[in-house]
Amino acid sequence: MGELRIDRLTKTYARREGWNATRYLKVFQDISFTVRDGEFVSVIGSSGCGKSTLLSIAGGLSPATSGTIYVDDRPIKGPGLDRGIVFQEFALFPWLTVLGNIAFGLKAKGLGRKERDEIARKYCQLVGLSGFEDYHPHRLSGGMRQRVGLARALAIEPAALLMDEPFGALDAQTREAMQNALSDISMKTKGTILFITHDIREAIYLSDRVLVLSGRPASVADELVVDLPRPRHRHDPVFQEYEARLEAAIGGGSYVAEEERVGKVA
Ligand SMILES: Nc1ncnc2c1ncn2[C@@H]1O[C@H](COP(=O)(O)OP(=O)(O)OP(=O)(O)O)[C@@H](O)[C@H]1O
Ligand SMILES: [Mg+2]
């Protein structure tokens, strides 16, 4: 896979309010970090601190106000096949089968039908969905749908995988099963992964490093190197120490109610 480098990234949203006012919200400022080749990095932080904003900029779906994100030293300018994205909503095409969904991005890579089919089958198997190739999404459980989303993102063999709370909509049991699956898959594919979650234990279980976003505007307030061998055990006492540290770094409260009027323009 590749390297993802976030360089002095700042995002300010502007919103018209009434007929003569614009409200500005500086979500984060000067964020810099690198997800090295093959590294699994999670970003955590309270609701509204800018995690999804960061991921959508990395995906090329939203512009940065300043700063740049590089994939293997190429500045990103929009969406691209060098990044695979998995969102919380499954976002599968209901009219396509499992295999059709997984193969979807491969056409844009210019691959022929036979090759697309082979690659899609390989990733279908990797995520544990062998036997379900011809199912349509409505016949799959939430966990299975998210496996399809993951296989689709992996199938384009991107330099980096971007995941925004991919297991947020799943029940606790399915969520744990998906964490185990992702842990296995990331060990096998040695993928470069930027993973967003607000679940501290999930971040510890999966990541090589955990970054904490905090403050308004947010910045990287803490960085934890998860020094535990894999596969990990959720009952390891070190987990609890890490958890306490990250909880303290996140701080209490949510940003949702405290948007400030920072500027006014005519
Ligand atoms: N398109 C937009 N226009 C204006 N403001 C926005 C837009 N998208 C997000 N915001 C604001 O930017 C801030 C950060 O939002 P973001 O969705 O990135 O947070 P988050 O950390 O992902 O939150 P959550 O944990 O709830 O998913 C919030 O205050 C939100 O209201
Ligand atoms: Mg979000």
- Closest ligand 1 atom number to CA of residue 11: 12
Ligand nearest the Cα atom of residue 47: 1
Give the angle subtended at the CA of 218 by the CAs of 215 and 221, to the nearest 5°.
Answer: 70
Any idea how long the chain is? 266
Q: What is the pLDDT of residue 19?
A: 83
Radius of gyration of the CA atoms of the chain, in A? 19
Q: With 50 as the cut, is the pLDDT of residue 49 above it?
A: yes
CA distance 175 to 163: 14
Provide residues with CB under 6 Å of ligand 1. Answer: 13, 15, 25, 27, 45, 47-53, 198, 255, 259
Strands 193-196 and 40-44 come out as parallel
Q: Which two tokens stand for residue 174?
A: 């399915």
d(CA 2, CA 190): 10
Q: Distance, CA 52 to ligand 1 centroid (Å)?
A: 7
Ligand closest to 48 (CA) is 1
Peptide bond into 63 cis (omega under 30): no
Q: Is the pLDDT of residue 209 over 70?
A: yes
**pTM, full prediction:** 0.92
> 265: helix, coil or strand?
coil
Which residue of 12, 16, 24, 27 sits with most ligand 1 atoms within 8 Å of its CB, as the best mutation to test the pocket? 27
**Ligand nearest, relative to CA of residue 27:** 1
Which residue owns the Cα nearest ligand 1 atom 8?
53
Which atom in ligand 1 lies closest to the alpha carbon of residue 15?
Answer: 4
- Locate the ligand 1 atom nearest the alpha carbon of residue 55 and give its number: 18
The pLDDT tens digits for 67-90 are 999 999 999 999 999 999 998 887
Examine the pLDDT at 259 and tell me if it is beyond 60.
no
CB atoms within 10 A of CB 140: 18
Q: Which atom of ligand 1 is nearest to the CA of 255?
A: 29
The domain 4-11+34-250 is classified under which CATH number: 3.40.47.10, 3.30.2010.10, 3.40.50.300, 3.10.20.880?
Answer: 3.40.50.300
